Amino acid sequence: MARITAGIATSHVPAIGAAIDHGKTQEPYWKPVFDGYDWVKVWETQEKPDVVILCYNDHASALMLDVVPTFALGCAEEYAPADEGWGARPVPIVYGHVELAAHLAEQLVLDDFDLTLMNHMDVDHGLTVPLSLMFGQVDAWPVKVIPLAVNVTQFPTPSGNRCWMLGEAIAHAVESFPEDLNVQIWGTGGMSHQLQGPRAGLINPEFDNAFLDGLIDDTDDLRKITRLEYLRESGSEGIELIMWLIMRAALGKDVEQLQRFYHVPASNTAVGHIVLKPRASEKAAEAA
């Protein structure tokens, strides 16, 4: 059967994509950011995932204000990089896994999640920047991707607990897919940042690092963080961290931290990155 073997979370700062695309990764400002992803690039070449379920938010590239789904699942065969106003990023086409996506759609609806199914969707930096950070500049992405777009831009947004429940449902759905697939789930966006208003440029390292700590052993508290608390502590865009909770919930109760990285600043945000692996249950360990 298919299995979720790891979870990855990372910021998806658009300026990171621009730095990659324009050959600036080794400049003094950017080098510390990209050095933080050296480990995961090597690790991914060893893990060789077949599919990534990638939780991200669209930035008015494919989902405009006239259609604002809470959760939108990509079910297409391929996804083109979006033109976000300055041309599409020079990155490969993203190819989906149609069979697993259809299975997820059916199972999640049966589990009472009313998803919007996207049979055509361009994908913006929220999805392509994480792919670049994990795999580098390549002629073709070495993995198939199932996009899961989460509304974090327009009220009402889903709660952290609802996102957690979705992650649990995704895990159950993947486990019931009969094909032998190595599946990873990624949560992207964040960490603390605000792009407008009097608090533009807000960064809260204390909150960010407490959130990273909580992903290991204090997830109950993370599930209870309200929209107002995200706004107060991590800025207007810090709500993107709820997508990390989908990833974390899909890994089960106990996880092992393989890698962690935090850096301030990158553009006007804090960059966070963590790699987690589910701990094998005693029953599974005995069977092995």
**Annotation marks residue 172 as catalytic:** no
120 tagged catalytic: no
The catalytic residue among 97, 103, 193, 273 is 193
Q: Pull the structure tokens for residue 63.
A: 């989902």
Q: How many CA atoms lie within 13 A of 210 on its CB side?
A: 11
Active site residue: 125, 172, 263, 273, which one?
A: 125
Active centre residues (catalytic)? 125, 193
